[in-house]
Amino acid sequence: MKQVGGTLKLDLAQYREMAAFAQFGSDLDPASQRMLHRGERLTEMLKQPQYSPLPMEREVLLIFAGNQGYLDKLEVDQVKTFEREIMSYFDSKHGDILDEIRTKREISDELRGRLVKAMDQFVEVFVSEHGAEKAAAA
């Protein structure tokens, strides 16, 4: 978890600070806009129903997706759909990756490569099915 979530706390702190600053209506540079954009998606990703915690390997998968920028390509209202569908996708096609995360509890370079390849494939399918304009443009 620490391996994939390392910068998450810092990213969210920067997002909250920037969001507070942006309330004053000042024009933001593109980097600040990207930070706000990512922070909104990461915040949405971290929301879980009460008394329904995700297994560790699923949390790692979602945090990895968020930190690697896969959520940046989505609208905020698409994040929960993305989460549900990526879980189904990995359950059906890449269960071995989830098993390896669960058992080894670390992400080797080889596993990282497989994870990125699987996520790239999923995002391609997700974008084609949901017509995410921002995802196609990014």
Task: Look at phi and psi of residue 69 and say left if phi exceeds 0, alpha if psi is from -120 to 50, else beta.
Answer: left
In this prediction, residue 138 has a pLDDT band, given cuts at 50, 70 and 90, of very low
Taking the domains of the chain in order of start, what are their residue ranges? Answer: 2-137
In terms of DSSP H, where are the helices of 47-108?
56-67, 79-93, 95-104
Mean pLDDT, range 96-124, rounded to an integer: 91
Q: Is the pTM of this model over 0.95?
A: no
pLDDT at residue 122 above 90? yes
Task: Look at phi and psi of residue 6 and say left if phi exceeds 0, alpha if psi is from -120 to 50, else beta.
Answer: alpha
Model pLDDT for residues 33-48, shown as the tens digit of each residue: 787 778 888 888 888 8
Q: What is the pLDDT of residue 134?
A: 46
- CATH for 2-137, options being 3.40.50.720, 1.10.10.10, 1.20.150.20, 3.30.420.10: 1.20.150.20
In this prediction, residue 115 has a pLDDT band, given cuts at 50, 70 and 90, of very high
Q: What is the pLDDT of residue 129?
A: 84
Model pLDDT for residues 63-109, shown as the tens digit of each residue: 899 888 888 888 888 899 999 999 999 999 999 999 999 999 888 89
Mean pLDDT, range 36-61, rounded to an integer: 86
Residue located via tokens 């994040």: 79
Please say whether the beta carbons of 85 and 61 come within 8 A. Answer: no
Q: What is the pLDDT of residue 135?
A: 44
Q: How far is CA 5 from the centre of its chain?
A: 11
